Amino acid sequence: MTSRRGMTLLELTVALAVGGMAVLIGGGTIAELTDRRAAEHAERDAIGRSLTARRSLEAWLSGARLVPGDPRLALRGTDGVRTTPFGRVDDDRLAFLTDAATPVGDGPATVSIALIPDGTAEGATLEVRFRSLRTGDTASAMLAPNVSGFDVQYFTRAFGVTGWRDDWDAPGLLPGALQLRLAGDAVAAPLRLPITIPLANGR
């Protein structure tokens, strides 16, 4: 009886084909896992940035105050609407003076919050601009991209009405509370929740 060594050409071809298929399947699985991990990291980063943006907005709003006798530094809120391919959306603007720390330093600074159109179908970017009253330094921060709507409500017991208003223009008076809402499918979850801030000395 004769023994043979090695593999026939057919056996070698089959082995290479099976090995190649295993490598292709394994490579596809590794690529899918890598893509999934990258998407999870990106989502965690977006949530972290939106939490930071939310805390910053809360701090700046909590520090809102008036300067008696200077109407230029009054809290002002404008109720606006913008037309998009998807319909009409809220496009409010808010300006106020804060004592909270801002990118222009500690101490009083004016803060202006508005949507800046970014040319995409999603809508706009929420931008905050700062100006220090002490030094005159200015800065801006892009807090949230892909925002389709920005709505601010003002709670008051003044003007003979108790409830929420769509705008605010009372130079010598702060509202009792503010509520900010951002709309947009691409806005991270922490910023989609309403931000409600009671204001000291507000009415």
Q: What percent of the chain has pLDDT over 90?
A: 40
Please write the tens of the pLDDT for every residue from 56-78. Answer: 999 999 999 988 878 888 999 99
Q: Where are the domains of the chain?
A: 57-198
Most confident option among 46-50, 55-59, 145-149: 55-59
Does the structure show a pLDDT above 70 at 138? yes
Q: Which pLDDT band, with edges at 50, 70 and 90, does 15 fall under?
A: confident
Q: Give phi and psi for 160, each to the nearest 5.
A: 75, 10
pLDDT on residue 68: 80
Does the structure show a pLDDT above 60 at 122? no
Q: Tokens in use for 199?
A: 């204001």
Does the structure show a pLDDT above 90 at 187? no
- The residues pairing with 102 across neighbouring beta strands, listed in sequence order, are 105
Indicate the pTM of the whole model.
Answer: 0.76
